[in-house]
Amino acid sequence: MIVIEKQPKRVEVTVYAEFSLADYKEFENAVNFAIQFEGPVDLLFDLREMADVTLDVAWEDIVFARAHANDFNRIAVLTHSQWVAWSAWLAQIFVRAETRIFDDELDARAWLTEEEGPA
């Protein structure tokens, strides 16, 4: 089960229990809508309560990431799991967004709201 909250220029997703393909499709729809009207967005994934992810979700994530390589600015992943952290790091291969792993929600939110420095 997922809960999706839309903020200006940000999509926030919290996953509870199993992350199913139907949940992932709901996430994709929310992100596609945000990108269509706002351009590149930030993502906040709270995966601390995720118990399991299905194989079809893992595959869909790769397909989605490749199709949206330039559609994200920053991606913050909240997790206590080393496996999830490793998976998020691996996903960076397909997405040009800056991705960071956090175990503290306040730190993740602070990073997403801080201004980017000079390029």
Task: Please state, in angstroms and rounded to a whole number, the distance separating the CA atoms of residues 82 and 23.
Answer: 22
**Which residue type does 104 have?**
D
Closest by CA to 71, choosing from 101, 92, 95, 98, is 95
Q: Where are the domains of the chain?
A: 2-113
Q: List the alpha helices (DSSP H) in the chain.
A: 21-38, 55-67, 82-91, 105-113
CA atoms within 13 A on the CB side of 56: 7
Task: Give the class (CATH, top level) of 2-113.
Answer: alpha beta
pTM over 0.95: no
Task: Please state, in angstroms and rounded to a whole number, the distance separating the CA atoms of residues 7 and 76.
Answer: 14
Per-residue pLDDT tens digits of the chain, which is 119 residues long = 999 999 999 999 999 999 899 999 999 999 999 999 999 999 999 999 988 878 888 888 888 888 888 999 999 999 887 766 656 665 666 688 888 999 999 999 999 998 764 44
